[in-house]
């Protein structure tokens, strides 16, 4: 587990407020509602807004994140909403699930160092069942310099070419690069350049 990253996120999530809000990401919500309910994996899930929404829709939810503060807030949010989520304290390199065990995996603003991105994305796809769906929304490289959120390093931002290469095992269902108006807590506010991807195994 990357200590410097976990400390950075612990500091961000230590405030009383939910820094990305308590409502699910809109693209994730829309795409998830098109699918039959099953098992869902949410890597880098932070404070749990997407996990709790999915659990409220009867999904069996597993999640992980580096931040113990994020995990605590996610479990608190789950309790308040009277749902159960399985949430591990782990990074991409630390977690372990059975291969082909999830009906859906969602990467929502799960930005990682450039030199690890492809490995992590290819690792994640191994956990999708045949016919399973991967949903991704993240900042595109056009986001650099904008104040509406995201890592300030171009290498941690996404391009269509990156994603097509990373998820070459999947059939691309949707791939869009667009500007959206974000309103997700204090750290995702304003017009942002994002990429949305849906792939099927």
31-52 CB burial, b ≥16 within 10 A, e <16? bbeeeeeebbbbbbbbbbbbbb
Mapping DSSP onto H, E and C, the string for 96-162 reads CCCCCCEEEEEEECCCCCHHHHHHHHHHHHCCEEEEEEEEEEEEEHHHCCCCCCCCCCHHHCECHHH
Question: Averaged over 183-191, what is the pLDDT?
Answer: 89
Q: Which residues contact 37 (CB under 8 A, 6 or more apart)?
A: 57, 58, 59
Question: Averaged over 188-200, what is the pLDDT?
Answer: 95
Question: Averaged over 139-149, what is the pLDDT?
Answer: 94
pLDDT of residue 152: 85
CATH of the domain at 90: 3.40.50.150
Higher pLDDT, 185 or 195: 195
pLDDT of residue 2: 58
Question: Averaged over 97-105, what is the pLDDT?
Answer: 95
Residue 16 DSSP one-character state = S
In this structure, what are the phi and psi dihedrals at residue 176, rounded to the nearest 5 degrees? Answer: -130, 140
For residue 137, give its domain range: 3-200
**CB contact at 8 A, 193 and 149:** no
The rounded distance, in Å, linking the Cα atoms of 197 and 199 is: 7
- pLDDT band at 186, cuts 50/70/90? confident
* Max CA separation in the chain (angstroms): 41
**CB contact at 8 A, 19 and 69:** no
The rounded distance, in Å, linking the Cα atoms of 53 and 108 is: 13
pLDDT of residue 14: 85
Residue 1 has pLDDT above 60, yes or no: no
Q: How many domains does the chain have?
A: 1
The rounded distance, in Å, linking the Cα atoms of 25 and 16 is: 20
Q: Which residues contact 72 (CB under 8 A, 6 or more apart)?
A: none
Q: What angle do CA 116, 191, 105 make, to 5 degrees?
A: 40
pLDDT of residue 178: 96
* pTM attached to this predicted model: 0.95
pLDDT of residue 63: 97
pLDDT of residue 16: 79
88: β partners: 64
Question: Averaged over 125-149, what is the pLDDT?
Answer: 96
pLDDT of residue 177: 97
pLDDT of residue 93: 87
Residue 95 has pLDDT above 90, yes or no: no
Helix then strand count (H, E) for the chain reads: 6, 7
**By percentage, how much of the chain surpasses pLDDT 90?**
84
Residue 3 has pLDDT above 70, yes or no: no
* Both structure tokens of 114: 């450039």
pLDDT of residue 133: 98
In this structure, what are the phi and psi dihedrals at residue 44, rounded to the nearest 5 degrees? Answer: 50, 50
**By percentage, how much of the chain surpasses pLDDT 70?**
99
102-108 vs 188-200, strand pairing mode: unpaired
């Amino acid at each position: 587990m990357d200590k410097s990253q976990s400390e950075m996120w612990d500091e961000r999530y230590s405030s009383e407020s939910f820094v990305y809000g308590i409502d699910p990401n809109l693209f994730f919500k829309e795409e998830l509602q098109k699918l039959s309910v099953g098992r869902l994996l949410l890597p880098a899930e932070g404070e749990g807004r997407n996990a709790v929404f999915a659990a409220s829709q009867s999904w069996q939810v597993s999640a992980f994140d580096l931040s113990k503060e994020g995990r605590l807030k996610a479990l608190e949010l789950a309790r308040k909403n009277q749902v159960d989520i399985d949430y591990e304290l782990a990074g991409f390199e630390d977690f372990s699930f059975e291969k082909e065990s999830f009906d859906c995996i969602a990467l929502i603003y799960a930005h990682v160092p450039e030199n690890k991105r492809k490995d992590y994305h290819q690792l994640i796809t191994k956990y999708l069942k045949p016919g399973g769906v991967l949903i991704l929304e993240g900042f595109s490289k056009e986001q650099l310099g904008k104040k509406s959120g995201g890592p300030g390093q171009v290498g941690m931002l996404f391009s269509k070419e990156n994603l097509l290469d990373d998820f070459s095992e999947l059939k691309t269902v949707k791939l869009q690069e667009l500007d959206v108006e974000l309103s997700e807590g204090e750290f995702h506010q304003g017009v942002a350049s994002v990429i949305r991807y849906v792939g099927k195994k």
